Every structure is written in structure tokens, then in C-alpha cells.
Structure 1
């Protein structure tokens, strides 16, 4: 009986130890959301630097790093701050009203109505006028969803990127913005 008690204590200690190790591992690499089946929002960016396929473009400035991966006719942008992924963006190669409407519909079905954060000049009150404003760089269509307190989704249509779908880690993005604002 004494041997089985020691065995049980050892098994409990081993189980507790493995749970503690698992928690430590999770704390070191917090994956807030797996994005596009490959990118860990909030996780370390370093593994992507040795990934296959390698990034087509890599650009670093201070604590920020941008990696660009080809994705068929699209581009995937992985943006990191302090070596952690704070934003993953799919920029669609073809920007049409149909693409925007289809993507918006899918996001509405999955996450609800979201919030319209679009910015257009007063004269752009029709869809055609809004599209013209986007193409001239005078307006932008932006819809945002907050499925989690730690990350959000943005669907946007801008002159710079065309139509893009972004997943953003809220705290990391705010830390980066604060660092840039403070001039450090």
C-alpha cells in the first residue's frame, strides 16, 4: 500500500509539473488568433524569418518589422513590433465592388454587423461617388469587428492597398502606436 501511495503522489506531481510547464510555454508565445492558417497573432515573428516559403520582402525599422509573403494573386503582410506579430493583412490583388461586398457579407455572417468606420467627403453619398473618392485617395471604406477583447478584424478599401483584410492584436498595436507617438 505504501508503494501505491508513493506512486500516486509521483503521478500527481508529474501531472502538476507538466501543467505548469504547459502554462509557461503558453505565456512565452501567446497566440491570440491563428490567422490564415499560418500566422500566430501575438506570437513570435522569428520563426517566420526561417520559414518556407521565405518572405519575398523583409523590412526592419527600430522595433518594427514587416514581412511580405506572396499569396497567389494577393499579398500577405505580417507586421511585428518588439518581435511579436501585431497585425496580419491580406491585400487582395484585384479590388472590385463584388470582392468587397462578398468579403463583407462573409464577415457579417460570421461576426455580426460590426462597426462602419468609413470616411468619405460629403459629396460621396452614392456607391459610385464613394468608389471614385477611394480611387482618388479622398475616402476610405473601413468596417471593424471585435470578436475578442484581445484582437479585432478590419475590412478596408483604400487607394494605397486596395481591398484588405486585417487581423490586429489590440495591445501590441496600441503599444506600437504609443511608442511612435512618443518619438522613441
Structure 2
């Protein structure tokens, strides 16, 4: 089943994927980082949000070829589960630990920690035979990098007034998964 995603759908998925990076970036912004570190984080998050979904898409396409239409239902279910998990974690996890000043390895580990969901999203999209892979994942990367930059800026400016952004991202994933399952 090959499917072309509409531009609005691509942006909604990209925003949902970028919510974890946005949340993390608020904490980083509250701590304060240099312009160079901000650039490094945005670039790393953006690149990971391109590469990981591509890997996931190729894996999902392979499953889609083997399992046919059943794979599309599995992919939609994965979206619903990931979205529900994001929402659940917002209500059950303790206050995020204080992020210390960033050092070398943290520029990979922190962006990777907020980018792993994009591998699963890519898998889901691959089961649907999504077209225009470079365009779709490019949007994911650009939006994630922009949300990282916005999070750092807002964290620096607004600090503790912004919370629970993953609820919104999780809601988007649940809604898209349900749409794919039933409509």
C-alpha cells in the first residue's frame, strides 16, 4: 500500500516528533548555553530526525512487503502506542533532573534520547509505503531543529512557565494512528 502524505500531515508528525526535543531544549535554555552549543544541538537533533526515520522507513517497507496490509495496521498501532506513551510519561515521570552544563558526549546522547521515537515513526510510515522519503524526513529534521532552537530560546526567556509539551505531541500521534487505523 503506497501512500502519499499531505503536507499538513507531514508537519503534524514533524511537530509531534519535535516535542521531546522542544521539552529538553527548554531545560537546556534555562541552564544557558552558548550560541555555538545551540547550533550544535540544533544540527545534531535535525540530522538525527532525518536519519533515524529513514532507517525506520526502510525497515517498515521491508515488513510491508512481507506482511502486506497487516503491516499498515501494525504501523498505525505503533503510532497510537507511541503517542499514548508520550502522554503517559508526562503524567508519571518525576520532574526532569537538572541538566548540567553540556559537555562533549552530551551533544550526542541528549539529542539521540529525544530522537529515538523518530525511528519508530519511520517504521510506521514505512509500513504504509510513504512516498517522497527525502522530503518527508527533511521536514522532520528541519522542524526538529527549529523546535530545538525555539525551546532553548523559550527556556532562556520563560523558564518554568512552559511544561507538559509532550502531551500535545502524543495527542497528535494517537490521532494520526487512529485515523490510519479507522479511516
More strand by share: 1
| TM-score grouping bracket, smaller chain normalisation | under 0.3
Larger radius of gyration: 1
Per the normalisation by structure 1, the TM-score is 0.24
More helix by share: 2
Q: Which has the higher contact order (CA 8 A, sep 6+)?
A: 2
Per the normalisation by structure 2, the TM-score is 0.24
